[in-house]
């Protein structure tokens, strides 16, 4: 099984989570990256210079965290599998992304960044529309909130059944593969416009009616 990768860390390494402004009740906002946090491109985001964030995205992520959500980015990044560039290039993009968000809002931490580096034809469980990144995100954030000093044992697919309450969690993406990953994982999916991103659907997260 081809598993997700984690930003600048081994997938099962212990995690020390940044503090939330409020008590965490288990809510997670699973966010796609391109088209949700930053403007996407048909030719990929290939460098920090090409990274352009949506207006008010830092404020939107900060608001989610102030409302008790942990933030878990789950992004397909097939340029690595296509051998266009490597993991370090992506890490630099994500470092820059994190810095820009915190410049906008001091609460806009990305608690966890997971990515699938595989090309579509590799059939990875990590690549959306499969739910592997969401499965990993729940387990890592849950363990980080209870046993932050221990490495994490991760299970996927038929080897793991989500016993946590995802009723107040959400998956935000701009594509059908994001919504299908949400459906397979069992979390509410909200599809956003790739021209507006997360800020355009923020109210839908809090207003379930």
Catalytic residues: 32, 34
> What gap in Å lies between CA 150 and CA 70, rounded to an integer?
19
Q: Would you state the structure tokens that stand for residue 31, as one six-digit string?
A: 């966010």
Q: Give the helix ranges, DSSP H, for 105-201.
A: 132-146, 176-185
> What gap in Å lies between CA 79 and CA 39, rounded to an integer?
17
Cβ-contact 95, 107 below 8 angstroms: no
Cβ-contact 165, 8 below 8 angstroms: no
Q: Which residue has the tokens 């942990």?
A: 70
Phi, psi of 101, deg, nearest 5: -65, -45
The dihedral over CA atoms of 78, 91, 27, 159, expressed in degrees to the nearest 10, equals 50
């Amino acid at each position: 099984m081809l598993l997700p990768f984690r930003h600048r860390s081994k997938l099962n390494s212990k995690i020390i989570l940044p503090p939330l402004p409020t008590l965490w009740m288990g809510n997670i906002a699973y966010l796609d990256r391109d088209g949700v946090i930053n403007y996407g491109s048909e030719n990929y985001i290939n460098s920090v210079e090409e990274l352009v964030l949506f207006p008010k995205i830092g404020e939107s992520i900060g608001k989610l965290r102030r409302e008790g959500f942990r933030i878990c980015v789950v992004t397909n990044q097939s340029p690595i599998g296509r051998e266009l560039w490597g993991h370090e290039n992506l890490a630099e993009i994500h470092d820059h992304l994190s810095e820009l968000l915190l410049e906008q809002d001091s609460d806009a931490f990305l608690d966890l960044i997971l990515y699938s580096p595989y090309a579509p034809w590799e059939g990875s469980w990590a690549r959306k529309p499969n739910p592997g990144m969401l499965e990993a995100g729940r387990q890592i954030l849950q363990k980080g909130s209870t046993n932050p000093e221990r490495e994490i044992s991760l299970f996927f697919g038929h080897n793991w059944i989500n016993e946590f309450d995802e009723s107040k969690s959400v998956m935000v993406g701009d594509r059908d593969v994001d919504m299908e990953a949400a459906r397979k994982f069992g979390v509410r999916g909200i599809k956003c416009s790739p021209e507006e991103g997360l800020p355009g659907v923020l109210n839908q997260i809090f207003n379930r009616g």
